[in-house]
Amino acid sequence: MWSIEQPNLYDFVFTITSKKNNKVLDKVKSYGGMRSIEVKKNKVYLNNKPLYQRLVLDQGFYPDGIWTAPTDKDLKKDIILSMKAGFNGARLHEKVFEDRFHYWADKLGYITWAEWGNWGANENAKGTEQNGKGVIFDPASWWADSEVDIAMTRLFGGFNREFYEGYHQVIPLKKGFEKRVIIYNFYHILNHANMFGGSYIHQVQDYIKRIITL
Which strands make up the sheet holding 89-93, listed edge to edge? Answer: 55-58, 89-93, 111-115
User: Which of 123, 157, 178 represents a domain boundary (last residue)?
Assistant: 123
User: Which of 88, 123, 158 represents a domain boundary (last residue)?
Assistant: 123
Are 106 and 47 part of one and the same domain? no
Average pLDDT over residues 11-28: 94
How many Å apart are CA 196 and CA 107, to the nearest integer?
A: 27
Lowest mean pLDDT among 73-77, 99-103, 128-132: 128-132
Q: What is the pLDDT of residues 42-96, one digit of tens each?
A: 899 999 999 999 999 888 888 787 778 899 999 999 999 999 999 999 998 877 8
Are 58 and 106 part of one and the same domain? yes
Element (H, E) at 93: strand 89-93
The per-residue pLDDT for 89 is 95
Beta carbons within 8 Å of 47's beta carbon, 6+ residues apart: 1, 3, 35, 36, 37
Burial class of residue 27, CB neighbours in 10 A (0-12, 13-18, 19+): exposed
The per-residue pLDDT for 102 is 95
Q: What is the model's pTM?
A: 0.57
The answer to the question of residue 117 being in a domain is yes
The answer to the question of residue 109 being in a domain is yes
Are 90 and 48 part of one and the same domain? no
Position with higher pLDDT, 113 vs 65 = 113
Position with higher pLDDT, 80 vs 171 = 80
The per-residue pLDDT for 95 is 79
Are 48 and 69 part of one and the same domain? no
Are 153 and 177 part of one and the same domain? yes
The per-residue pLDDT for 148 is 86
The answer to the question of residue 11 being in a domain is yes
The answer to the question of residue 134 being in a domain is no
Task: Give the angle 106-81-83 at the CA atoms, nearest 5°.
Answer: 55
Q: Strands 37-40 and 43-46, how do they pair?
A: antiparallel
Are 10 and 46 part of one and the same domain? yes
* Total residues found in the chain within this entry: 214
Per-residue pLDDT band at 128 (split at 50, 70, 90): low
Average pLDDT over residues 104-127: 73
Are 30 and 59 part of one and the same domain? no
The answer to the question of residue 177 being in a domain is yes
Position with higher pLDDT, 172 vs 124 = 172
The per-residue pLDDT for 160 is 84
Beta carbons within 8 Å of 99's beta carbon, 6+ residues apart: none
Are 150 and 205 part of one and the same domain? yes
Q: Total structural domains in the chain?
A: 3
Residue-range definition of the domain harbouring residue 206: 144-212
Are 42 and 64 part of one and the same domain? no
Are 203 and 160 part of one and the same domain? yes
The per-residue pLDDT for 163 is 86
Q: What percent of the chain has pLDDT over 70?
A: 86
Residue 213 has pLDDT above 70, yes or no: yes
Which of 141, 135, 97, 102 is CA-nearest to residue 118?
141
Are 207 and 154 part of one and the same domain? yes
The per-residue pLDDT for 45 is 95
The answer to the question of residue 133 being in a domain is no
The answer to the question of residue 128 being in a domain is no
Are 109 and 151 part of one and the same domain? no
The answer to the question of residue 138 being in a domain is no
Which of 66, 73, 78, 72 is CA-nearest to residue 99?
72
User: Which of 52, 67, 94 represents a domain boundary (last residue)?
Assistant: 52
The per-residue pLDDT for 142 is 54
